[in-house]
A = this chain, B = another copy of it.
């Protein structure tokens, strides 16, 4: 059940020391069936539910940024007071539910292909993200 050795290897191979805080965060992030879309606050809550001793919020921030830099997490572009991260690091796009503030992965069959035809001079493309904002389809919209 515990994939600690895997996580230890993963961390070590990317030059990160496998501390007990990082291993715990790996478990919370990567030991799940489905993609996890989260804010730092979501993650911290998730950790504290599953853990007796707490992890400092600064460490959660440090770790998420370290994992992002190593390519284990993606940050999703969305205008919000909070940053959103994603354990699905493949190229994919999102629905954002403005009622619940939840990100949902687009399947390939949700979208036609998005292809760039032209470049911007002297610039390289780092990412292409499609964000589809959705909300409940009620009559009484304000």
Which A residues lie at the B interface, using CB under 8 A? 75-80, 83-84, 95-98, 104, 107, 109-118, 120, 122-137
Contact = CB atoms under 8 A, between A and B. Distances in A.
Contacts of A117: 109-112
B120 A95 contact: yes
Q: How many monomers of this protein are in the complex?
A: 2
A98 B125 CA distance: 10
7 contacts: A95-B123, A109-B118, A110-B118, A124-B134, A124-B137, A128-B133, A130-B131
A131 to B, nearest CB: 5
Residue from A113, A130, A132 with most neighbouring chain B CB atoms (10 Å): A132
- Dominant SS among interface residues on chain A: strand
Contact of A132 (B96, B128, B135): B128
A132 to B, nearest CB: 5
A134 B123 contact: yes
A111 B112 CA distance: 12
B114 A136 contact: no
Nearest to A75: B79
Contacts of A134: 120, 123-126
